[in-house]
C-alpha cells in the first residue's frame, strides 16, 4: 500500500476527485481493510518526509546561497543558451508535410488510419442521423425514461428540462452533434479502457507497465492530445473523436484495474475452495465484485469525454464546443453563453444519471411486491425493451406532428440580452467603481502586480538556477528519480526552444495556484468546521466538478475581458472545487480519537487546527496542491484561446495556421511542463 493508490483514487481530472465522494459512499466491502493499512502508513510517512528532506535541505540551501551571487555576476545567463536549443521546426514541418502529402497514398494511412478514420466518421454519422431521426421528442423522452428508471421522477424531470432548454436556446442541432460524437468516443474509450484495465488488473506485469503511462496521461492537459491526432488524421471529426478516446480511456482503465485488483481476497479464496476454474472466478466473482469501480469508470469516461469533446472543437469536432469557440474568438459572450449552457446541462444530466446508475447498483433491491405499479411494469429486461418502445412511440408521434427538429418559433435568443448586460457591465463595472475598483482594474492589477513581475523574475533568472530549483523541490517531494524527471522535463523545455513561452505559462500557473490554494484552504477550513457550511457547499462543488474546462472561459471573459488575468481566473475557478473537496475530506478524516483527546487536554480551536488537524491531514493537503497544479495548468493552456498567450496560444496558432511544427513543439513543452509540475508537487511516494 503506497501513496499512489490514494493518488489514483483522487485522480487528476475535472471529475475525478468527485470519485472520492462516491467511494466513501460505496457499500462496505474491502473498504475498511483498505483504509487500515493506509492509516497505519500515514504517520510513518509524515515522519519520514521531514526527516529525509531536512537532510537534503541544508546542502541545497548552501548551494543556492553560493550560486545566487554567481547568477548576479553573470547577468547574461538569464535565458536558455541558444547553443543548447534544438530547432525542431524544420524536421517537424517536413514530417508534417510528408504526412499531409502521403495521407492518401501511403499504405499505413490507406490500410490502417484510413479505415479507423472511416469507421469513426461512419459511426458518428450513424448516431447523429439516429438522434435526428428520433427528433427532439424521441431523444427527450428516452433520456427522461432512462433517468426515471434509474433514479426517479426528479431526475427524469431534470433530464427533460435540460433537453428542452437546449432546444429553447436554439442549440438542438449542435447539442445532437456533440452528443453523437460523445456516444461514439465514450463507447470506444470504455471498451479500450476496460481492455487495458482488464490486462492491468489480471497481470501484475501489465500493471507495472501500464501504470506509469496512465499516470502520466492523466496529468497532461487536454490540449496536448490534440496536435498528434491532427498530424495523423487532419482536422476533422476523426481526430476529435480519437483525441477524446485517448483522453477518456485512462480513468476507465485505472478504475477497472483498481476494481479487479482489489476484489475481496476472502471471496476469491472461497470461490477457489469451491473448485471454480480461473474463468469462473473471473466471470462470477472478480468482475461482479469490481462492478462499482467499473461503473465509476464509465461515469469518469463520460465526464472526461464530454470535457474533451467540447475542447476538441478546436480541431473540428463541431457542435456546442465549436459554437463557444467561435463566439469566444469574437468575444461574443452572449453567443458563447447560449452554447455554454447546454454543455453545462449536458454535463449535469449525464453525471447525475451515471451516478444514479452506480448508486442503484450499490443499493439493496426493493422487493418487486413493494414497488409502485409503474415501476413493476418497467422492471427487468422486459422493462428495458418497454422503455425503448415508449421512446420510439413518442418519436413517431413527434414526427407525425412534423417536429423532428426543435421548432424555430420556440427558441429564445439569449445572445442579445446577455450581450447588452455585458455591455452594461463593461460600461459600469469594468472600472471606476468607487472603493472596490472595477473588474478590469482588478485584472490589470493582477497582471501588473503579480503576473508581470513573476514572469520577469522567472525569465531573468538564470536557466541553471531554475533547473537546480526544480530538482531541489522535486527532491523534497519525492526521490532522486522524481528530481531527475523534473530536471530533465524542464531542460527539455529549453532544448525545444520555447523557454520564454514556457516560463510565461509557468508564471501564470504559479500565480493561479497560489491564489487557488489560499482561497481553497480558507474555504475548506471553514467548511470542515461547520456541517452546515459543508452542506451548502457540497451541491455547488458537485456541479462545478462536472463542468468541462471550456465553459469556465465564458464567465471570466464576460467579467474580465481577454488577457492573461482572465485565463488565470478561469484556472482558479476550475481548480478551486477540487482543492476544497480534497482538503475538507482530509480534515474530516482526521482520526476523531486524536481530535477528542486534544480537546480533552484543553486545546483551543486554532491549536486543534494547527497542531492536530493540519499535520494529520498532510497527505490530503499535498494531494490538493498536486491537483491544483495539474488542473490549473490544463486551464491556463486553454486560456490561450482568450488571450492567455504563451504555450496555449502557440498550440492554437499552430492549429489555426496549419503550422504544425510550432504547435507540436508547444504541445511537447506542455507535456514537459505538466511532468515537471506534477513531479515537483507529487505527494511523497514510499521508495
Partner 1 sequence: MNTTPGTTPGTSSAPTPGTTPAPSVTAPAGESAGAPAGSTVFSVDGLWKVFGPDKAAAKVPGSADADLPAADLRERTGCTAAVRDVSFDVRKGEVFVVMGLSGSGKSTLVRCLTRLIEPTSGSLTIDGEDVLAMDATRLRALRRHRAAMVFQHFGLLPHRTVLDNVAYGLEIQGVGRGDRRTRAAELVAKVGLDGLEDRRPGQLSGGQQQRVGLARALAADPEVLLFDEPFSALDPLIRREMQEEVARLHHEEGRTMVFITHDLAEALRLGDRIALMRDGRIVQLGTPEEIVGSPADDYVRDFVRDVPREQVLTVRTAMRPAVAGEAEQGPALGPATTVVEAIQAVARSGGPARVVDHGRCLGVVDDAGLLAVVAGLPATPGRGVAA
**Contact footprint for partner 1 (CB under 8 A):** 27-29, 264, 266-267, 269-277, 280, 284-285, 288-289, 291, 364-365, 367
Nearest residue (CB) to partner 1, 263 versus 493 = 263
Nearest-approach distance from CB 151 to partner 1, in angstroms: 20
Nearest residue (CB) to partner 1, 277 versus 597 = 277
Nearest-approach distance from CB 26 to partner 1, in angstroms: 11
What is the rounded distance in angstroms from the CA atom of residue 679 to the CA atom of residue 626?
9
Nearest residue (CB) to partner 1, 263 versus 636 = 263
Nearest-approach distance from CB 29 to partner 1, in angstroms: 6
Nearest-approach distance from CB 288 to partner 1, in angstroms: 5
Nearest-approach distance from CB 339 to partner 1, in angstroms: 42
Q: Is there a contact between 554 and 573 (Cβ–Cβ < 8 Å)?
A: no
Q: Is there a contact between 411 and 167 (Cβ–Cβ < 8 Å)?
A: yes
DSSP alpha helix (H) spans, 363-434: 373-377, 380-400, 415-428
User: Could you give the angle at which helices 553-560 and 333-362 cross, rounded to 10 degrees?
Assistant: 150
Nearest residue (CB) to partner 1, 28 versus 374 = 28
Nearest-approach distance from CB 280 to partner 1, in angstroms: 6
Nearest-approach distance from CB 255 to partner 1, in angstroms: 18
Nearest-approach distance from CB 357 to partner 1, in angstroms: 15
Nearest-approach distance from CB 369 to partner 1, in angstroms: 11
Nearest residue (CB) to partner 1, 289 versus 635 = 289
What is the rounded distance in angstroms from the CA atom of residue 416 to the CA atom of residue 407?
20
Positive or negative torsion for Cα 369, 374, 380, 382: positive
What is the rounded distance in angstroms from the CA atom of residue 394 to the CA atom of residue 399?
9
What is the rounded distance in angstroms from the CA atom of residue 418 to the CA atom of residue 335?
8
What is the rounded distance in angstroms from the CA atom of residue 447 to the CA atom of residue 273?
67
What DSSP string describes 392-412? HHHHHHHHHTT-SSPPGGG--
Nearest residue (CB) to partner 1, 376 versus 605 = 376
Three-state DSSP class for residue 31:
helix
Q: Is there a contact between 496 and 85 (Cβ–Cβ < 8 Å)?
A: yes
Burial class for 310, CB neighbours closer than 10 Å (0-12, 13-18, 19+): buried
What is the rounded distance in angstroms from the CA atom of residue 91 to the CA atom of residue 504?
26
Distances (CA, A) of 381 to 273, 475, 594: 33, 56, 51
Nearest residue (CB) to partner 1, 277 versus 611 = 277
What is the SS3 string spanning 622-673? HHHHHHHHHHHHHHHHHHHHHCCCHHHHHHHHHHHHCCHHHHHHHHHHHHHH
Nearest residue (CB) to partner 1, 61 versus 288 = 288
Nearest-approach distance from CB 367 to partner 1, in angstroms: 7
Nearest-approach distance from CB 274 to partner 1, in angstroms: 4
Nearest residue (CB) to partner 1, 26 versus 106 = 26
Nearest residue (CB) to partner 1, 264 versus 534 = 264
What is the rounded distance in angstroms from the CA atom of residue 218 to the CA atom of residue 9?
12
Residue 220 gets which letter from DSSP?
Answer: S
Nearest residue (CB) to partner 1, 275 versus 539 = 275
Residues present in the chain in total: 687
Nearest residue (CB) to partner 1, 75 versus 365 = 365
Nearest-approach distance from CB 271 to partner 1, in angstroms: 8
Q: Is there a contact between 237 and 316 (Cβ–Cβ < 8 Å)?
A: yes
Cell 481548480 belongs to 575
Helices then strands, counting H and E runs in the chain, come out as 34, 0
Nearest-approach distance from CB 296 to partner 1, in angstroms: 16
What is the rounded distance in angstroms from the CA atom of residue 402 to the CA atom of residue 63?
77
Nearest residue (CB) to partner 1, 69 versus 275 = 275
Nearest residue (CB) to partner 1, 115 versus 291 = 291
Nearest residue (CB) to partner 1, 24 versus 110 = 24
What is the rounded distance in angstroms from the CA atom of residue 504 to the CA atom of residue 521?
26
Nearest-approach distance from CB 262 to partner 1, in angstroms: 13
Task: Enumerate residues 6+ apart whose C-beta is below 8 A from 616.
Answer: 42, 46, 590, 591, 594
* Neighbour tally for 533: CB within 10 Å: 14
Distances (CA, A) of 533 to 290, 519, 582: 34, 15, 15
Nearest to 303 by CA among 19, 576, 9: 19
**Grid cell digits, residue 263:** 476484489
Nearest-approach distance from CB 298 to partner 1, in angstroms: 17
Nearest-approach distance from CB 35 to partner 1, in angstroms: 17
Task: Enumerate residues 6+ apart whose C-beta is below 8 A from 486.
Answer: 470, 471, 473, 474, 675, 676, 679, 680
Task: Enumerate residues 6+ apart whose C-beta is below 8 A from 554.
Answer: 324, 328, 333, 336, 337, 340
Nearest residue (CB) to partner 1, 30 versus 93 = 30
Amino acid at each position: 500500500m503506497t501513496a499512489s493508490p490514494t493518488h489514483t483514487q483522487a485522480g487528476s481530472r475535472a471529475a475525478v476527485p468527485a470519485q472520492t465522494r462516491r467511494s466513501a459512499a460505496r457499500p462496505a466491502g474491502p473498504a475498511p481493510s483498505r483504509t487500515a493499512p493506509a492509516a497505519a502508513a500515514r504517520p510513518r510517512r509524515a515522519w519520514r518526509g521531514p526527516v529525509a528532506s531536512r537532510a537534503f535541505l541544508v546542502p541545497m540551501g548552501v548551494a543556492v546561497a553560493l550560486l545566487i551571487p554567481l547568477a548576479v555576476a553573470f547577468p547574461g545567463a538569464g535565458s536558455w543558451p541558444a547553443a543548447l536549443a534544438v530547432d525542431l521546426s524544420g524536421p517537424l514541418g517536413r514530417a508534417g508535410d510528408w504526412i499531409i502529402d502521403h495521407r492518401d497514398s501511403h499504405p499505413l494511412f490507406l490500410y490502417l488510419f484510413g479505415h479507423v478514420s472511416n469507421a469513426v466518421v461512419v459511426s458518428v454519422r450513424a448516431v447523429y442521423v439516429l438522434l435526428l431521426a428520433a427528433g427532439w421528442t424521441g431523444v427527450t423522452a428516452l433520456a427522461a425514461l432512462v433517468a426515471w428508471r434509474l433514479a426517479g421522477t426528479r431526475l427524469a424531470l431534470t433530464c427533460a428540462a435540460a433537453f428542452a432548454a437546449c432546444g429553447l436556446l436554439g442549440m438542438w442541432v449542435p447539442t445532437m452533434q456533440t452528443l453523437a460524437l460523445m456516444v461514439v468516443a465514450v463507447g470506444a474509450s470504455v471498451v479500450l479502457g476496460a481492455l487495458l484495465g482488464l490486462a492491468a488488473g489480471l497481470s501484475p506485469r501489465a500493471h507495472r507497465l501500464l501504470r506509469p503511462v496512465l499516470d502520466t496521461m492523466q496529468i497532461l492537459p487536454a490540449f496536448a492530445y490534440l496536435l498528434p491526432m491532427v498530424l495523423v488524421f487532419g482536422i476533422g471529426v476523426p481526430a476529435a473523436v480519437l483525441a477524446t478516446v485517448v483522453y477518456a480511456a485512462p480513468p476507465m482503465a485505472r478504475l477497472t484495474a483498481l476494481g479487479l485488483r482489489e476484489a475481496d481476497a476472502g471471496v476469491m479464496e472461497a470461490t477457489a475452495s469451491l473448485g471454480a476454474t480461473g474463468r469462473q472466478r473471473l466471470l462470477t466473482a472478480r468482475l461482479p465484485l469490481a462492478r462499482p469501480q467499473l461503473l465509476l469508470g464509465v461515469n469518469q469516461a463520460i465526464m472526461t469525454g464530454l470535457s474533451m469533446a467540447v475542447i476538441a472543437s478546436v480541431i473540428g469536432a463541431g457542435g456546442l464546443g465549436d459554437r463557444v469557440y467561435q463566439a469566444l474568438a469574437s468575444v461574443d459572450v452572449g453567443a458563447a453563453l447560449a452554447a455554454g449552457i447546454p454543455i453545462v446541462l449536458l454535463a449535469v444530466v449525464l453525471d447525475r444519471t451515471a451516478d444514479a446508475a452506480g448508486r442503484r447498483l450499490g443499493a439493496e433491491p426493493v422487493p418487486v411486491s413493494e414497488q409502485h405499479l409503474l415501476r413493476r411494469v418497467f422492471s427487468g429486461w422486459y422493462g428495458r425493451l418497454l422503455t425503448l418502445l415508449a421512446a420510439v412511440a413518442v418519436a413517431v408521434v413527434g414526427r407525425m406532428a412534423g417536429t423532428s427538429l426543435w421548432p424555430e418559433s420556440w427558441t429564445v435568443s439569449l445572445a442579445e440580452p446577455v450581450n447588452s448586460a455585458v455591455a452594461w457591465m463593461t460600461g459600469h463595472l469594468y472600472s471606476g467603481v468607487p472603493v472596490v475598483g472595477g473588474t478590469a482594474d482588478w485584472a490589470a492589477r493582477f497582471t501588473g502586480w503579480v503576473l508581470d513581475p513573476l514572469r520577469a523574475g522567472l525569465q531573468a533568472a538564470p536557466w541553471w538556477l531554475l533547473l537546480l530549483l526544480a530538482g531541489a523541490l522535486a527532491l523534497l517531494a519525492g526521490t532522486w528519480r522524481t528530481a531527475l524527471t523534473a530536471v530533465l522535463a524542464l531542460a527539455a523545455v529549453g532544448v525545444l526552444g520555447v523557454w520564454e513561452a514556457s516560463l510565461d505559462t509557468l508564471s501564470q500557473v504559479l500565480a493561479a495556484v497560489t491564489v487557488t490554494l489560499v482561497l481553497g484552504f480558507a474555504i475548506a477550513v471553514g467548511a470542515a468546521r461547520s456541517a452546515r457550511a459543508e452542506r451548502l457547499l457540497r451541491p455547488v462543488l458537485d456541479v462545478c466538478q462536472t463542468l468541462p474546462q471550456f465553459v469556465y472561459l465564458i464567465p471570466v471573459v464576460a467579467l474580465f475581458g481577454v488577457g492573461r488575468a482572465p485565463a488565470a481566473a478561469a484556472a482558479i475557478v476550475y481548480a478551486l472545487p477540487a482543492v476544497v473537496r480534497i482538503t475538507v475530506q482530509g480534515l474530516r478524516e482526521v482520526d476523531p480519537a486524536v481530535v477528542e483527546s486534544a480537546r480533552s487536554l484543553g486545546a483551543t480551536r486554532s491549536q486543534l487546527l494547527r497542531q492536530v488537524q493540519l499535520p494529520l491531514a498532510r497527505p490530503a493537503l499535498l494531494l490538493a496542491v498536486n491537483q491544483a497544479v495539474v488542473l490549473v495548468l490544463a486551464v491556463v493552456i486553454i486560456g490561450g484561446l482568450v488571450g492567455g498567450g504563451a504555450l496555449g496560444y502557440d498550440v492554437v496558432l499552430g492549429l489555426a495556421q496549419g503550422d504544425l511544427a510550432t504547435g507540436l513543439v508547444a504541445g511537447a513543452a506542455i507535456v514537459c511542463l505538466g511532468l515537471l509540475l506534477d513531479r515537483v508537487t507529487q505527494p511523497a511516494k514510499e521508495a
